[in-house]
Structure formats: C-alpha cells, structure tokens
C-alpha cells in the first residue's frame, strides 16, 4: 500500500509542477528574429531590406535604412520607419513603405513589411 501512495504522490507532484510551468511559460514569448523583405520589382529589379528583431521588440523613435542593389546599375534607396511602423509590425500587421527615389530615373520601390 505504501508504494501505491508514494507513486500517487509522485504523479500528483509532477502534475502540479507541469501545471506551474505552463502558467509561468504562457507569459513568455520568443524574441523576434531579424527578417528580410524583398521589394516590388521596378525597372527590372528589386531590393531587399532586413528588419532588426531588436527594433521590433523595442521600437526606436524612428530609423532610416539604406538598401543597396548590385545589378546593372548599382544604387541605393532609403526607407524610413516611424516608431508607429515598428509597433504595427510587432502586432503582426502589414506596414507599406515606399523607398526614396533613385535620381537617375526617379524610380522607387514598395515594401510590404510584416514579420513572419
């Protein structure tokens, strides 16, 4: 009889521990990883921009990112994000951003920013 009681005590103890782990663990979220988004294709090319997971988790007041394209005509564009943009991305919603224009032909690129 004593071994039955001991086994029952162990099972109850394990159940309580697992329940506590679930309650404590449910408030924890994994850190957002960096992710890369590809722009629209304009003038036969696109650009990529990498968004910092740290910026999503703790949005800066604003940030400008430069993206480079190494194709036939190497050039850059800038993309500016506001704190609200980062907060929207953090909620899992899409933020649409248009890059700066390239002076030679005035083209821009559109980015639909959403964390994976």
Alpha-carbon span 35 to 70, nearest angstrom = 20
pTM greater than the 0.75 cutoff:
no
Q: What is the pLDDT along the chain (116 residues), one digit of tens a residue?
A: 555 567 666 555 565 555 555 544 545 567 889 999 999 999 889 999 999 999 999 999 999 999 988 777 889 999 999 999 999 999 999 999 999 999 889 999 999 999 88
* Nearby residues of 60 by Cβ (< 8 Å), 6 or more positions away: 83, 86
């Amino acid at each position: 009889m004593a071994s039955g009681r001991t086994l029952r005590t162990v099972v109850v103890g394990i159940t309580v521990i697992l329940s506590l782990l679930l309650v404590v663990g449910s408030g924890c979220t994994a850190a957002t990883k960096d992710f890369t988004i590809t722009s629209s294709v304009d003038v036969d090319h696109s650009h990529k921009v990498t968004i910092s997971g740290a910026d999503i988790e703790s949005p800066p007041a604003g940030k400008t990112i430069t993206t480079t394209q190494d194709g036939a005509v190497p050039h850059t564009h800038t993309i500016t994000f506001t704190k609200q943009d980062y907060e929207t991305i953090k909620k899992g919603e899409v933020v649409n951003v248009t890059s700066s224009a390239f002076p030679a032909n005035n083209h821009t690129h559109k980015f639909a920013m959403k964390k994976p």
